[in-house]
Structure 1
């Protein structure tokens, strides 16, 4: 939102010359001749009556902002507000509030928005209430924020109502006030169709689904069969992860895996492991033995950190490949050099949390193959 000078609602008698100068300054500013525009605005602000002085001061504030001098812009806005002009006054206060917002001066911004309200110009009331609501949210004043949000929703500008509903509903969702958020979203959509509001409405449905699945996993009269309970735990955990709550998602998985009913725990584990690679069993009549990496995969799914684990694995593979490919590419054949390269490659996984498990698994497989532990203690470090 930008406040710009323009044609006033009224004009001082006999000020046509100053009006022409304001128009000239505006045209110069729009053409990029900011300093020439500023000089004309300054002349009008110094010599004209209240109406043109207000218009020129506001125009000067906008030009100073474009010139990168926010302090001068604020002074010009304050001069325009001081005239009490019913149009340029609130517009200048609006612009002043935006300047303070960009500077991170919350108290000064709030004071400027209150100045906008004091003018009682319908065109700027919604913006002022939105600004004050946002500031109240930031300082934790939920009651004050609610009052200003509601007043902003009562405005006549449909686009502003929709934007207000979006910001208000997002804050309500963050507070956990799902029903109120849905009501605000409906109000915004009644004013104007808005894809951003549809996104928030989807978030409302996600929150409702989380609550329902949470209630289902909590049990109660009748209960669920193991399959339905497993579904409830899985969807609860996955929706919590989608919401960005990885810790609570992991807790939901853990509760399912530790369920007092073994059949429920088995169902949850099956769902957690959906898509996992299952190695072929060495004996066709036996189940494949668990792989050393299974706990790490399960933890990654439960903690919503599969991309991180995949990244570590690819990085380790890249390190191994680089160590081994370099002597091959360079034609290095000396035994000592090759041994050093192999030692580097074997140690590469050790820097990852799963590296020790890989080393221990290799040690055990080698022990079974050779009939004894042939590796020194602490190998390969």
Structure 2
């Protein structure tokens, strides 16, 4: 009997961590529109901002809270009473408010950033969650730099914040330092060694400094994390955050993992373009899932396979993520089958002898141009006729 599928909570931090990219500044109207689209997309939690960081951020969190009906709205704080009070005020109109509070837990943070001790960090963690609990019921605690935090101490932190009433524990790989095996083992260690760990949801929050954010997030899920934090297009500090579109499609396509999300994947391309437009953050053409080339084929071998059967070279139907269709791009690497296919698309059918002649002229054109357009194809026909 197939075990029951497990839901993975999707936590979007595009409007908070994503907006921390240099040069990426969203105004209030843009944030509200993105938040509304995130709700339509099906994300479970929207981290709307860091209310104490600026009057503009406070106001944006407050306005987003008024416009969102079903999705949890989260405000970030440091482990400071004033931060928590301001976040609670910004979230007062949210139907489902969450405060995320926390502090660094790695040796580097404790000794160099805070000039503190493990004992004091434990006390601060406990007191911050306890205080936030006075304002809202749903409290997420983040152990900043959990990726480089020694597991035994991280377990003590988790135990403390569970006692204080945390509902979610976020375990960020803040510097993107972990390997997937390391990060997965960290989650597994906490599940096996922290009392009452079943009372909270463990969350991943991985950065992409070594290009491992998605792999680490999946390792976290496989070892017991049930919430994934990330951003649309993977935007965020330095090399960025876990791209949510990648997580969602991995879980959708790899059915053997037995997980699911509430995401309407047909909206992924649309919201990717919206976020890119408003943030000014360009999406690389070879970006997985939503890049311009994700469903484009230029190699003759690949094109021939695609014409015969799409599944030969595509594991995702473009319509699943909101693309209209795949593209066969004509270049100097394209073969006769792709040329015949493209000519048929614009209404031309040729004999084998004709296509052999046309193909030789096509190659001359293709060697001079990066890509052959439909207009170029017509020019090639005219040159043959003349």
Which one has the bigger strand percentage?
2
Which structure has more relative contact order (CA 8 Å, sep 6+)? It is 2
The bucket for the TM-score relative to the shorter chain is 0.3 to 0.5
Q: Name the larger-Rg structure.
A: 1
